[in-house]
A = this chain, B = another copy of it.
Amino acid sequence: MALYEKKLEFDPVVERVWEARPEFLAISPHAEVPVLVEPDGTTLLDATAICEYLDEIQMEPPLLGFDPLTRAEVRRLVGWFDGCFGREVTDNLVGEKMLKRLYGHGGPDSRAIRAGYANIHRHMEYIGWLIEHRRCLAGDAFSMADITAAAHVSAIDYLGDVPWENHPAARDWYARIKSRPSFRTILGDHVPGMPPPKHYSDPDF
């Protein structure tokens, strides 16, 4: 999404990380995605490090904000969604229902899934609270905070597990994200043999 927003040309490559291909482990020793490979072969790892790098080599549009305080708020929220939201919601739902199967790590743990269903409400309320005070999550400008939150929310929405009916403010924010050209391409990606719910790529739900 950051690459599309910055209008940087790139070739997206699907890496089946669970296959742990030796060629992939040579560039990402822990079989982690995303990896950015520059034309000269330089490789970059870690989503946050890659997005900060993209913001430094291609300033427009700025995705971290203009002044140091706004940038601190963007980075705090990126850390919040990749950290707390990830552990409490994404890992429990996407991790248990989808990744565990792909990695061949056995069946989903129903206790973890129940925890994910319980935790998601508090997090969607927080998104709603932020969006009632600001146009976008970290302030009035669209930023990496929106991208990071949308990445998590869309993975959960693909499973049909976001309780949108209870969280209208968060839903309005996500409808705006879904209507961005940078996101529409991404919403077209499907997991083979596992279609998303109908509303998944519909900007009007």
Binary interface profile of A, 59-71, with partner B (CB < 8 Å = 1, else 0)?
0000000001101
- Is A17 part of the contact surface with B, judged by Cβ < 8 Å? no
Q: Which of A46-54, A98-106, A158-166 contacts B (4 or more CB under 8 A)?
A: A46-54
Contact segment of A75-83, A110-118, A193-201: A75-83
Q: How far is the CA of A134 from the CA of B130 in the complex (A)?
A: 43
A15 at the interface (CB under 8 A from B): no
Minimum Cβ distance to chain B for residue A151 (Å): 16
- Within the assembled complex, what's the spacing in Å between the Cα atoms of A69 and B50? 10
Collect the chain B residues with CB atoms within 8 Å of residue A50's CB: 72
Q: In the bound complex, how far is the Cα of B56 from the Cα of A106, in angstroms? A: 46
| B76 adjacent to A45 (CB under 8 Å) | yes
Compute how far the CA of A30 lies from the CA of B87 in the bound complex, rounded to whole angstroms: 14
Interface size, A (range)? 20 to 34
In the bound assembly, the distance between CA atoms of A84 and B71 in angstroms comes to: 25
A14 within 8 A of B: no
Residues of B within 8 A of A53 (CB): 68-69, 71-72, 75
Q: How far is the CB of A186 from chain B (nearest CB, A)?
A: 22
Q: Per a CB cutoff under 8 Å, which of B30, B45, B68, B75 touches A46?
A: B75
| Dominant SS among interface residues on chain A | helix
Q: Are A42 and B71 in contact (CB under 8 A)?
A: no
Q: Can you list 28 A-B pairs, Cβ within 8 angstroms, ordered by A?
A: A30-B84, A44-B69, A44-B72, A44-B76, A45-B76, A46-B75, A46-B79, A46-B80, A48-B48, A48-B75, A48-B79, A49-B72, A49-B73, A49-B75, A49-B76, A49-B79, A50-B72, A52-B71, A52-B72, A52-B75, A53-B68, A53-B69, A53-B71, A53-B72, A53-B75, A56-B68, A56-B71, A57-B68
Given contacts A46-B79, A48-B75, A49-B73, 16 further A-B contacts (CB under 8 A): A30-B84, A44-B72, A44-B76, A45-B76, A46-B76, A46-B80, A49-B72, A49-B76, A49-B79, A50-B72, A52-B71, A52-B75, A53-B69, A53-B75, A56-B71, A57-B68
